[in-house]
Amino acid sequence: MVSMGRPSLSPRPPLPRSLRTSGRRSTSVRSADEAWAVLAGAGHGRHWYVDAAPFVVRGALDRLALGGGRRWPVADGPLLRAGDRAGFWRVLAAGTTATGHRLVLEAAVRAPGRVVLELRVDRHPAGCTVDLAITFEPDGLLGAAYLLTDVPAREAVVELTHRRLLADLRRV
């Protein structure tokens, strides 16, 4: 359903969750290519993967913990590409898949393990499906302890980030 020219974004059942991964799924009447242009867009302007509230807060916390809290500028060009850096993210993969598009980002922050964000935009007859997942891969005993305390915070980050990227899709 479309109202006032905006895409209908229907929440779908959440992606399977685990101790290590939190995710969200929604559908849009926009084509996968239209959604991809917005969600993997680079260049000047606002981008959910840099200025969503949870990432701004995480960058500040990282700086307080004497981490880099990197504020890499968003790459020039129309879309993110593997090897780009933006905010505190390193782009590991960005491109077309058999069913749509996929973006994989790795956080360059102080954490006892690896933080990976994956975004998939898949085609379907009525538009596209947008899947967002954040995974924490612990390193050592400290990472395992952190994993147990990280789940509620990660769930909040995924929910707020998912809302932001859907808002970005509605704006176009």
CA 46 remoteness from chain centre: 14
In a domain, 157, yes or no: yes
In a domain, 3, yes or no: no
pLDDT for 9 equals: 44
Domain boundaries, position 150? 13-171
Give the pair of three-digit tokens for residue 137: 């891969």
In a domain, 138, yes or no: yes
pLDDT for 32 equals: 97
pLDDT, average across residues 26-53: 86
Task: Report the CATH number that the domain containing residue 30 is assigned in CATH.
Answer: 3.30.530
- What does the pLDDT look like over 116-153, one tens digit per residue? 999 999 999 999 999 999 999 999 999 998 888 888 88
In a domain, 7, yes or no: no
pLDDT for 14 equals: 47
pLDDT for 69 equals: 58
In a domain, 6, yes or no: no
In a domain, 163, yes or no: yes
Q: How confident is the model at residue 12 (pLDDT cuts 50, 70, 90)?
A: very low
126 compared with 110, residue with greater pLDDT:
126
pLDDT for 39 equals: 93
Cα distance from N-terminal residue to C-terminal residue, the chain: 16
Q: How confident is the model at residue 17 (pLDDT cuts 50, 70, 90)?
A: low
22 compared with 6, residue with greater pLDDT:
22
In a domain, 5, yes or no: no
pLDDT for 99 equals: 94
Domain count, the chain: 1
State what percent of residues in the chain have pLDDT above 90.
47
In a domain, 152, yes or no: yes
When the pLDDT of each residue in the chain is averaged and rounded to a whole number, the result is: 82
d(CA 8, CA 54): 24
- What does the pLDDT look like over 64-98, one tens digit per residue? 666 665 666 778 889 999 999 888 889 999 999 99
pLDDT for 98 equals: 95
State how far the alpha carbon of 97 is from the alpha carbons of 1, 94, 100, 105, in Å: 27, 9, 5, 16
